[in-house]
């Protein structure tokens, strides 16, 4: 027996003991409600016809069943990840499901976002895909999303869901199958059509496709089975275990110049982090000029506009008093040291492009601020 095999057995044994252990580390009998893990072979047993995206999964084909069982077992055994799927599902899926219902699209597409991003707004891929639906920049722009240095709307679940569903509907019209549409979403429609032409097949389950795409469809199916029937897979959650939907209200802001997000947060009676979390598509520390709806906590809606205008006026006056004109021989490090501020703060306050050399006569905003102190 190899060392790798021995380690694998040891890890599985330790995990099983951990699940079945009491508070003092002593093994105890566990009821299903206490986290008992079902037999792995039972997890892959399917009664009746299994469907995905309203289309039959060909489990009677041995190779299809094997691929399905592999992805389901891998997903179910990665228990921390599967648990996070479940917890996040109540935060985002009601909105996605409503969008699907409104378009009369298969409800199973909500699990595609789980397979793509595990419902995380900032996750990216080496190929440049980003966000809940892992859209590439060119695809996102084609379906109306803004992707530039100031905004990346792929991170916003509302905007990106509409773009992703537009894309999937177009793929369905082009290919005639929701399963093929999902496969094309993963590998690209032209690549899929080339394989369909070469292999003379319009059935996903009989096509030989890139391994990532072959696995992708079954990852969606695994997410569906786990999320729709968590108890079967040993997850016993109460209502309070799930993450609550994020509450916010949209406020239209007409910005004639860059506005610090910290100022918007102050007007809303909240923190910078909250504004960033509610508006993940906004890049950096400033809202770009123009009209844009910004999400804020509901408690900050009343009186927001007046507070915002007052704070904006104070910000403009303060900024005029904090201008430093760059002198010959200056550099950013020396200027930061001169005014006792972090170099990174200078970069944030002035949106400095490090590729551009500092020139005499340049005007820098330097705020007279002290670091906040924690209260342990």
Confidence class for position 245, pLDDT limits 50, 70, 90: very high
- Position 345 scores a pLDDT of 81
Are residues 102 and 170 part of one domain?
Answer: yes
Are residues 119 and 61 part of one domain?
Answer: yes
Q: Are strands 51-52 and 55-56 parallel, antiparallel or unpaired?
A: antiparallel
| 41 inside domain | no
Distances (CA, A) of 92 to 31, 233, 314: 31, 22, 38
Are residues 132 and 107 part of one domain?
Answer: yes
- Position 78 scores a pLDDT of 95
Mean pLDDT of 160-172: 98
Are residues 257 and 236 part of one domain?
Answer: no
Mean pLDDT of 252-279: 95
Are residues 218 and 91 part of one domain?
Answer: yes
Print burial letters for 304-335: b (CB count within 10 Å at least 16), e (below 16): beebbeebbeebeeeeeeeebebeeebebeeb
- Position 1 scores a pLDDT of 52
pLDDT tens, 174-200?
999 999 999 999 999 999 999 999 999
| 147 inside domain | yes
- Position 323 scores a pLDDT of 78
Instruction: Give the span between the Cα atoms of 105 and 100, in whole angstroms.
Output: 5
Are residues 103 and 188 part of one domain?
Answer: yes
Boundary-marking domain end, from 321, 351, 366: 321
| Residue reference for tokens 């890890």 | 11
- Position 267 scores a pLDDT of 97
- Position 12 scores a pLDDT of 52
Are residues 193 and 62 part of one domain?
Answer: yes
Confidence class for position 47, pLDDT limits 50, 70, 90: confident
Domain count, the chain: 3
- Position 337 scores a pLDDT of 81
pLDDT at 165 over 80: yes
Instruction: Give the span between the Cα atoms of 154 and 147, in whole angstroms.
Output: 8
Are residues 369 and 297 part of one domain?
Answer: no
Rounded to a whole number of angstroms, the CA Rg of the chain reads 26
Instruction: Give the span between the Cα atoms of 20 and 40, in whole angstroms.
Output: 16
* Cβ-based neighbour number of residue 136 at 10 Å: 16
Query: Structure tokens of 201?
Result: 């097949």
Question: Residue 184 class from Cβ within 10 Å (0-12 exposed, 13-18 middle, 19+ buried)?
Answer: buried
Helix (H, G, I), strand (E, B) or coil at 301: coil
| 349 inside domain | yes
Q: How far is CA 265 from the centre of its chain?
A: 23
Q: Which domain holds residue 292?
A: 247-321
Are residues 275 and 134 part of one domain?
Answer: no
Q: Are 349 and 367 in contact, with CB atoms under 8 Å apart?
A: yes
């Amino acid at each position: 027996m190899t060392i790798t095999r021995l380690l694998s057995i040891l890890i599985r044994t330790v995990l099983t003991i951990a699940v079945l252990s009491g508070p003092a580390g002593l093994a105890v009998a566990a009821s299903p409600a206490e986290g008992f893990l079902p037999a792995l072979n039972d997890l892959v047993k399917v009664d009746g016809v299994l469907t995905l995206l309203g289309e039959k999964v060909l489990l009677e084909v041995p190779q299809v069943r094997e691929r399905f069982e592999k992805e389901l077992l891998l997903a179910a055994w990665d228990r921390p990840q599967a648990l996070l799927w479940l917890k996040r599902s109540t935060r985002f899926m009601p909105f996605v499901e409503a969008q699907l219902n409104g378009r009369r699209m298969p409800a199973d597409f909500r699990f595609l976002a789980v397979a793509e991003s595990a419902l995380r707004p900032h996750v990216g891929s080496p190929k440049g895909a980003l966000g809940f639906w892992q859209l590439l920049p060119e695809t996102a722009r084609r379906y109306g999303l803004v992707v530039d240095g100031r905004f990346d709307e792929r991170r916003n679940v509302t905007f990106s869901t509409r773009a992703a569903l537009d894309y999937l509907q177009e793929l369905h019209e082009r290919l005639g199958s929701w399963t093929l549409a999902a496969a094309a979403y993963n590998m690209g429609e032209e690549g899929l059509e080339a394989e369909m032409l070469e292999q003379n097949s319009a059935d996903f389950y009989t096509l030989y496709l890139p391994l990532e795409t072959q696995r992708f469809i079954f990852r969606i199916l695994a997410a569906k089975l786990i999320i729709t029937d968590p108890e079967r897979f040993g997850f016993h959650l109460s209502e309070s275990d799930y993450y609550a939907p994020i509450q916010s209200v949209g406020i239209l802001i007409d910005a004639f110049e860059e506005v610090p997000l910290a100022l918007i947060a102050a007007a809303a009676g909240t923190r910078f982090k909250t504004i960033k979390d509610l508006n993940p598509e906004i890049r950096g520390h400033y809202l770009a000029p123009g009209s844009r709806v910004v999400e804020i906590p509901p408690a900050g809606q009343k009186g927001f506009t007046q507070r915002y205008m007052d704070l904006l006026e104070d910000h403009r006056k303060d900024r005029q008093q904090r201008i430093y004109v760059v002198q010959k021989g200056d550099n950013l490090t020396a200027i930061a040291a001169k005014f006792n501020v972090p170099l990174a703060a200078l970069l944030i306050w002035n949106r400095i492009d490090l590729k551009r050399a500092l020139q005499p006569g340049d005007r820098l905003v330097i705020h007279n601020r002290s670091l906040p102190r924690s209260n342990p």
